[in-house]
Chain A
């Protein structure tokens, strides 16, 4: 029987979940330091309760702890994201196009920032971390349908903001 108290099991849970947990908190509040703290805090709690949490429940436990930590406490800040460098494939693009591309990204950044926290988190977990709706539903502790709703609304309002409707 594997046990979360075993160093190997604990370390592998950390390696499998810490990055996404960090991103999850960051998408919500836009604060890297707080996201780092949340990861550390959640894993300390997991360690303290390692004998009570089964390895297959560890993931849900971590998200619950991280969620509760900043719930109604932290004011969301601007989420700053980078874009993958794609200039190599587009070296033949005109300066006008590149300028327009930059402007578009600027608009997307602003639009993401104005999204409600739960819609932004759902959208980014899917777009950046490639998480399926079912996985996001598990993290957030809601139904898959609720996540689909958030995604739909996120896409709708992002497009409206960008196109200036």
Chain B
């Protein structure tokens, strides 16, 4: 028998002759049993994943995490810098920025640093910079407002549709969707709309409806009607009348069989809704139904 034949036998490396010879020996049965039983031996439990977690958390600590994060480090640095810049510039640009607004069915009075006054109609907003007010008198307007401007440097009202510049005067600016109107009540107002500039003397107004400049009537009052809790219209499409109604009462207006391009001349109350609804429906020969915050204007099809 060759050297280490037991190891060779266990490994299946004995030649046929050697195996036959070994099987004849008396101890063969013992070895065979040893081979069989020892193959059912089992080592103690070892949880590989648990051990790996333990190793990483307790022994290697933060090291693998640092390596995993490295690709993002540069990105994080840049992102942090950008964030600081953005926040910084936001605060810088907005330093001294003041915003006043009037909610639906509300009016708000604003007094500017130079004692100029702004009265905001329902659903309107003005923004101005208090810090630079001494140098530039400029406000941004969304919605409708009446301005009583103290004498001084040029006063500018900028809107999404056009801007108004004055020196010292009283005027009203209405900047609604598809509707832009400036009415001068005192002094001189300069309106720039698109590329044209128009000077408005006291008692005149400038109106743009759906992108078209419309000849507006002369105001007959010294202040806009809404300041007396009324909304007045002269030859204005019903669409804008309904929108104003929605703003004044915080309601939703729906229509059925009503031609909204019909021109409306009249006034409705901003305090008495029943009266206001009648004021609109009667002259237009339409009817209305009211259910909570919803109002339906409808025309009955007369044969």
A positions within 8 Å CB-CB of B: 5-7, 10-11, 14-15, 18-19, 22-23, 26-27, 32, 35-36, 39-40, 43-44, 47, 80-84, 86, 104-105, 108, 123-124, 126-129, 132-133, 145, 147-149, 151-152, 155-156, 158-159, 162-163
Contact = CB atoms under 8 A, between A and B. Distances in A.
A25 to B, nearest CB: 11
Contact of A47 (B10, B31, B43, B63): B63
B6 A19 contact: no
B49 to A, nearest CB: 8
Determine chain B's interface SS by DSSP, over half rule.
Answer: helix
B217 to A, nearest CB: 79
Interface stretch (B54-62, B99-107, B208-216, B245-253): B54-62
A149 B4 contact: yes
10 contacts: A5-B67, A14-B48, A14-B51, A14-B52, A15-B49, A15-B52, A40-B55, A40-B59, A145-B4, A156-B6
Interface stretch (B32-40, B169-177, B194-202, B223-231): B32-40
Contacts of A83: 37, 40-42
Nearest to A16: B48
Given A18-B52, A44-B55, A44-B59, A108 B11 contact: no
Contact of B48 (A5, A6, A18, A81): A18
Determine chain A's interface SS by DSSP, over half rule.
Answer: helix
B5 interface: yes
Contact of A158 (B3, B34, B46, B67): B34
B283 interface: no
Contacts of B49: 15
Given A40-B54, A148-B7, A162-B30, A19 B42 contact: no
A149 B48 contact: no
Contacts of B46: 18-19, 22-23, 36
B39 A155 contact: no
Nearest to B60: A47
Contacts of A149: 4, 7
A40 B53 CA distance: 11
A106 B44 CA distance: 17
Contact of A127 (B7, B41, B44): B41
A10 B64 CA distance: 10
A148 B7 CA distance: 6
B39 A148 contact: no
A133 B43 CA distance: 19
Contact of A126 (B10, B33, B40): B10
Given A148-B8, A151-B7, A128 B42 contact: yes
A84 B48 contact: no
A104 B38 CA distance: 11
Contacts of A158: 34
A81 B27 contact: no
Given A14-B48, A81-B42, A108-B34, A151 B10 contact: yes
B48 A148 contact: no
A19 B44 CA distance: 10
B64 A32 contact: no
Contact of A162 (B11, B34, B54): B34
Given A133-B11, A152-B6, A23 B59 contact: no
B282 interface: no
B68 interface: yes
B55 A14 contact: yes
The 4 tightest CB contacts between A and B, nearest first, are: A151-B7, A152-B4, A155-B6, A84-B40
B7 A32 contact: no
Contacts of B41: 81-84, 124, 127-128
Contacts of B59: 40, 43-44, 47
Nearest to B39: A127
Given A14-B52, A15-B52, A47-B60, A155 B7 contact: yes
A12 B10 CA distance: 31
B228 to A, nearest CB: 76
A140 to B, nearest CB: 14
Contacts of A47: 59-60, 63
A123 B38 contact: yes
A8 to B, nearest CB: 10
Contact of A159 (B5, B27, B68): B27
